[in-house]
Structure 1
């Protein structure tokens, strides 16, 4: 049996961006919480609470990148990259709780509207939007294929939507005095956040359950190796999964033709898996006997 190892890098850039985003979010969070309490706006309070959880989520994402940098050990032979996936799952799951709280509070407020100071609400919401857009830009300059970064970006996108909703609600209240717009827009934001949270949580669970990456369909791998690698007459027992989105894994059994050199053929299979499917870690077992289940 032979193995190929490839551990992805480049986490330092993502780590720095998440750290900056966490600091900016935490810096404005206090002002928004105070502003929401003073103005009485649920939309602003909801966005402030979301920014509080974002600070925790971004800090968790930063810690995940730090932990992932640790070298592999005999107890954790694949390293700690999957901590990033766990962080993404926790971030996605937390958004469900946030959205549920917003909907509950909105239902209470809709039946019993409270006075809202639309002027302060508008100013704070605009400042919050500017801060959130800056954090969003910083995060999107990182690796957007990284599930941990995607989870952080979705949290900030929820903040941007919350700030926009608070701005719209403040303007409507200033122009018309119609208070129900505040809880209504809060629910709209919660629904949009839920949709994004589902995508990240679903992808994280798929990886945690050792699901196969979308581009590693066993039959396609089998057909490609038989056609592209000389000496391979059959491939079976193909298992594909990933440690993180950037680290797909494959194990398989290659049945070789008589006279095919095992070492050279295995090397050719690994090169093909790397070049064609982006798999840098493959375990290939060689068999010269008949194929079978």
Structure 2
């Protein structure tokens, strides 16, 4: 007896879709800062400032991709795509991570080419543009802080803005060093530091995306504990073929074969067991989209290849 029992009667809204307005606000702020920093980099001759502008431009592209993916993910499911297009958000996060890695490589390559031939930098313009960038990044962090735990794309945007803030601080530090000591190479060194700050964030985002694509159990989910809760339901004898995965951020999915006593397979008995199972998964593990296959004890001999 198969049964898809869910109080939501469908897939929940995606994490990115819930916070679209926040992302639009951050996108507008980021594009404005990119323009300021590019102009500042041209006027000051600062590679670090240009690197930070390039990084922020990649962030703007990432947020744009996330917004586009959220719109695509909202399209209804069909017979060919029974979960709709919700995985588009995960693919957008993958593209975002790869873009970050490319940006880091380009920055390092340009910085190495500049070593030994660092041109003079106008620190007044450099510091002004970097300070404006730092303030804008702080505002963006405040906008995204409450939403970054609910979506890979929002988290990616949050981490990118955090990296931008650190990048702006590095540019400010380099400008102060040049202003105080005349050590022009500080600008090149700062650009390399910005590149190295990008890589770990890209790696963590890429790792989370791979976990979703490989349908790993969501972080924080204890399969052993879920099994214990299911076995504690009256009428349940055993459980097998447990699968827990994530369609996209904020949309975990659960399925299992549940062996029950014969009298639990009556209409009223099955409803009672299913209601308890769904309530358990929803309240204890924040998983509303659950699919249970109820099986009588006598059917166990037909389940030769059981999984966890």
**TM-score, normalised via structure 1 length:** 0.93
CA RMSD of aligned residues (A): 1.8
CA distance in 1, matches of 2:203, 2:10: 30
Name the counterpart of 2:40: 35
- Quote the offset at 1:143 in angstroms: 4.7
The answer as to whether partners of 2:16 and 2:153 remain within 8 angstroms in 1 is no
Name the counterpart of 1:263: 271
Structure 2 unaligned residues grouped into runs of 5+: none
1:1-293 matched pairs, under 5 angstroms: 1-4=2-5, 5-9=9-13, 13-227=18-232, 229-260=233-264, 261-288=269-296, 289=298, 291=300, 292=303, 293=306
The answer as to whether partners of 2:240 and 2:257 remain within 8 angstroms in 1 is yes
Secondary structure of 2:19's match?
helix
Secondary structure of 2:80's match?
coil
- Quote the offset at 1:13 in angstroms: 4.8
* Corresponding residue pairs, total: 292
Structure 1 unaligned residues grouped into runs of 5+: none
The answer as to whether partners of 1:125 and 1:166 remain within 8 angstroms in 2 is yes
CA distance in 1, matches of 2:30, 2:97: 18
- Quote the offset at 1:279 in angstroms: 1.1
Which one is further off, 175-184 or 61-70?
Answer: 61-70
The answer as to whether partners of 1:33 and 1:48 remain within 8 angstroms in 2 is yes
